[in-house]
Amino acid sequence: MLFADELKSDILKAVKAIYDSDFPTGKISLQPTKKEFAGDATLVVFPFLQISKQSPEQTANAIGEWMKNNSSLIEDVNVIKGFLNLSIKQNLFIDAFTKQQATNNKQQTTNTTLVEYSSPNTNKPLHLGHMRNILLGYAVSEILKANGNKVYKVNIVNDRGIHICKSMQAWLQFGNGETPQSSGMKGDHLVGKYYVEFDKAYNAEAKAMMSDWISGKFESPESEAKYKSLIEQLESATSEEAKDKIIAEIKAYAKSVTPIFKAVQQMLLKWEASDLGTLELWNKMNGWVYDGFDVTYKMLGVDFDKIYYESKTYLLGKEIVAEGLSKEVFYKKPDGSVWVDLTAEGLDHKLLLRGDGTSVYITQDLGTAKLRYDDYHFDKLIYVVGNEQEYHFKVLKQTLKKLGYDWWDSLYHLAYNMVDLPSGKMKSREGTVVDADDLIGSTIEDSEKMTRELGKLGDFDSDDAKNLYRIIGLGALKYFILKVDPEKRMLFNPAESIDINGNTGPFIQYAYARIQSVLRKANSIAELSSSAHQLEVSEINAKEKDLIKLVLSYNEIIAEAAHRLSPALIANYAYDLAKAYNQFYHDNVVVDATDISRSLFRIELSKQTAMAIGKSFSLLGIEVPERM
C-alpha cells in the first residue's frame, strides 16, 4: 500500500507516545480504505487493545487524534467501530506522482530462477490444457524477471518413447508418404492424425482378436493360456467390480498382442538400439512436430531460453540411482529393480529403476534436475505442471533430499488444475479436446466479426486490421485463462467462445487504445506541445486520486505477484486501471486548451496509466493496440 512504511512508523510513534509501549511493526494491520468510507488508509485497532486497555473506539480515537496532530502525512481521520480511517494529504499523492517517472525502482535480486513449462509430447498437437500451462509459465517467468530475478525459461520435450513410435508405425502403415507439404497440414497435426490412426487400428485389431479367442482361435499358445486363465478367474469372480477388472485385463492383454502394437514395441527396441532407418523416420516426424509447435509458440508470443530433449537426458538418472544405492538410501529387490522407501516422509515405496535396468519417469526427472542444477546453479526451479502430478513432485523432492543434494528444497511445483468443458473433462481418446491452433483461429475470427459489426474499421488498411483482430483475439483468450487462479478448475465454453465485454482482455485493450487516442489529440494541440508549463496542480479530484493510487502501486503489485507467482493478480490490476481510467475519462476533460497546466497533468496521468497497463499486459504476454 502507498505510504505504508511511513504510516506505520508514525503509528508506532503514536503508540509509544500514548501508551508508552513498543509494538511490533509486523503486527500493524493497515489496509486500503473501502470506497464507502472517507480516507485512504485504514488501521485496524483491535491488535492494540491489549496495550490500550480501552474500547476499540477509544483506542482508535486516541491514535487518530495523535496522528492528526503529529503526523506530517495525515490530513484528517475518522473512526468507525474498530477502524481508524486515515486521510493522507493530497499533495503527497501529487508529489509522489510527479516524481514517479524518475523513481521506477525495480528491485534487483541476484536470484537465478528456472521456469520449466510447456513440456509437450511429440505425438500430438497442443490443446487447451497446454495453453493454460504455457501462458502461466510464460507469465510467471516475466513477472519474476520484472521483480529482478534472473530467469531462464526452459522446456523439456518428451520426444522419445512408445507414444511417438505409435505415430511412426501408423504413418508407415497408412501414410502413403504423406508430409506436411503434400497435405498442407501443420506438422504436429499431421503426426497427431497418425496417432489417432494408430489408436483406431489398435482397437480394431484388439476387437478382432478377442472375437477370435471367443470362437476358440488363438494366434499363439501364450495367448490361449493367458486367455483361458483369465476366463477362469472371470467365472469364479463374485463381485461386479472384480469382473469388470478382469474384463479390462483381457482387453488390455488383447491390445498388447495385436500385430500393430508388437510392431510398435519392435520399433522402440530398434530406436533404443540406434537403428538408422528408425532414427531417420523419428527425426523426420519430430521435425514436423517442432515446426508445428514453433508456429503455435510464436502465435502465443512465448519463447524459451533452453530446450531439453528427453532423448538426450533419459539415461542421466541412472547414475544417480547407482549413487543412491552405494549410499544405501535406495535398495534393490531380488528382481533387480531399485526402490526408495519414503514411508517415513508420509509417502510410499517408489520404483526408481525397472528390473531390466531401464529408467522410468522419475529416474529421468532426477537426472534432468541434477543436469539443470549443474547447468545453472539455480536458486529456484519452478515446474509448471498439472496438479495431477503433485505426488510425483513430492517424491522427486524427498528423493533428492535423501540423496543429500542441498538444493532439493529449491524445487517448486507450480500446479494448475485442469480445464473443463461444459461436457466435462477433456479426453484426447474421446476426441473432446479443444485444439490450441483451432481455438486461437476461431477466437481471432470472432474478434474480426465483432470488430466489423461495431464498424470499427475506419481508416485501417487490411494488414493493420488483420493484426488488430489477432491482438484482440489473443488478448481475450490469454486474459480469460490467466485471470483464473491456477489452483482452480476452470470452465471453458468453446461454443460461447470468449467474452469481449466486461472483465476481459479487450476491455483493457480498449482503455489503452483510447488513451493513445487522447495522447494523439494532445500532441496535435500546439500550445501544449510547445508549452513551457510545468506539471503543476494543487488539487486533485476523487477520480484522479483513484487513478494516481493505482498507477503508483505498480511496483508493489509486481512484487506481490512475483511472491505469490500469480499472473491473476496482474490481470486484475490491469482491469482496475482500465476501469478507473474509463471512470476518470467520463468525469474529466483530459485535453482542455483553456487550462494548460490541468491538461498537462491529466495527460501525464493518462500516459502513466497507459504505461502501467502496457507493462502489466506485457508481463502476461498480451499485446496492446495503438488504436482499435
Partner RNA sequence: GGUCCCGUAGUUCAAUGGAUAGAAUAGAAGUUUCCUAAACUUUUGAUGGAGGUUCGAUUCCUCUCGGGACUACCA
- What part of residues 514-533 is at the interface with RNA (CB under 7 A)? 514, 516-518, 520-521
Look at residues 507, 456, 514, 504 and name the one whose alpha carbon lies nearest to residue 483.
Answer: 504
Residue 139-158 contact track with RNA, rule CB under 7 A, x = bound: -------------------x
Alpha carbons 388 and 439: distance in angstroms, whole number: 24
In the complex with RNA, the residue whose CB is nearer, 10 or 448, is 448
CB of 37 to RNA, least distance (A): 5
Single out the residue of 14, 190, 500, 561 in contact with RNA (rule: CB under 7 A): 500
Question: Which residues contact residue 99 at a Cβ distance below 8 angstroms, ignoring those fewer than 6 apart?
Answer: none
Candidate ranges 74-82, 288-296, 321-329, 406-414; the one touching RNA (CB under 7 A): 74-82
The x, y and z cell numbers of residue 436, run together, are 490450441
CB of 340 to RNA, least distance (A): 12
CB of 499 to RNA, least distance (A): 6
Tell me the three state secondary structure of residue 257. Answer: coil
Which DSSP symbol is given to 38?
S
In the complex with RNA, the residue whose CB is nearer, 134 or 518, is 518
CB of 183 to RNA, least distance (A): 27
Single out the residue of 176, 181, 501, 594 in contact with RNA (rule: CB under 7 A): 501
CB of 464 to RNA, least distance (A): 12
Tell me the three state secondary structure of residue 423. Answer: coil
* Site membership for RNA, residue 614 (CB under 7 A): no
Single out the residue of 219, 272, 291, 348 in contact with RNA (rule: CB under 7 A): 348
In the complex with RNA, the residue whose CB is nearer, 153 or 163, is 163
CB of 495 to RNA, least distance (A): 12
Kindly identify the residues of this chain, within the stretch 415-474, that bind RNA according to CB under 7 A. 417-418, 425, 447, 450-451, 454, 456, 468, 472
Question: Which residues contact residue 286 at a Cβ distance below 8 angstroms, ignoring those fewer than 6 apart?
Answer: 122, 159, 164
The edge-to-edge listing of strands for the beta sheet with 380-386 is 306-309, 150-157, 112-116, 380-386, 411-416
Alpha carbons 289 and 302: distance in angstroms, whole number: 17
Alpha carbons 14 and 66: distance in angstroms, whole number: 6
In the complex with RNA, the residue whose CB is nearer, 151 or 482, is 482
Residues 66-81 as b/e (b if ≥16 CB within 10 A, e otherwise) read: bbeeebebbeebbbee
* Site membership for RNA, residue 133 (CB under 7 A): no
Alpha carbons 593 and 373: distance in angstroms, whole number: 60
CB of 256 to RNA, least distance (A): 10
* Site membership for RNA, residue 490 (CB under 7 A): yes
Distinct helix (H) and strand (E) counts, the chain? 24, 15
Look at residues 451, 497, 460, 502 and name the one whose alpha carbon lies nearest to residue 477.
Answer: 497
Alpha carbons 558 and 488: distance in angstroms, whole number: 22
User: Vertex 206, ends 204 and 210: CA angle to 5°?
Assistant: 120
In the complex with RNA, the residue whose CB is nearer, 279 or 418, is 418
Instruction: Please give the biggest Cα pair distance in the chain.
Output: 99
Contact (CB, 8 A) for 580 and 492? no
Kindly identify the residues of this chain, within the stretch 8-47, that bind RNA according to CB under 7 A. 29-31, 33-34, 36-37, 39, 42, 44, 46-47
For residue 85, give the amino acid letter.
N
Kindly identify the residues of this chain, within the stretch 372-391, that bind RNA according to CB under 7 A. 387-391
Kindly identify the residues of this chain, within the stretch 545-564, that bind RNA according to CB under 7 A. none
In the complex with RNA, the residue whose CB is nearer, 10 or 365, is 365
Q: By rule CB under 7 A, what count of residues binds RNA?
A: 87
* Site membership for RNA, residue 54 (CB under 7 A): no
* Site membership for RNA, residue 176 (CB under 7 A): no
In the complex with RNA, the residue whose CB is nearer, 16 or 488, is 488
Alpha carbons 69 and 222: distance in angstroms, whole number: 94
Residue 305-344 contact track with RNA, rule CB under 7 A, x = bound: -----x----------------------x-x-x-------
CB of 606 to RNA, least distance (A): 9
Residue 100 vs residues 92, 246, 605, 618: alpha-carbon distances, Å: 12, 70, 11, 20
What DSSP letter does each residue of 263-316 carry, written as one string? HHHHHHHHHHTT-HHHHHHHHHHHHHHHHHHHHHHHHHT---SEEEEHHHHTTT
Single out the residue of 491, 527, 541, 542 in contact with RNA (rule: CB under 7 A): 491
For the chain, the C-alpha Rg in angstroms (whole number) is 31
CB of 112 to RNA, least distance (A): 26
CB of 493 to RNA, least distance (A): 7
Residue 197-236 contact track with RNA, rule CB under 7 A, x = bound: ----------------------------------------
Single out the residue of 112, 572, 597, 618 in contact with RNA (rule: CB under 7 A): 572
Candidate ranges 77-85, 193-201, 241-249, 323-331; the one touching RNA (CB under 7 A): 77-85
Single out the residue of 148, 161, 287, 614 in contact with RNA (rule: CB under 7 A): 161
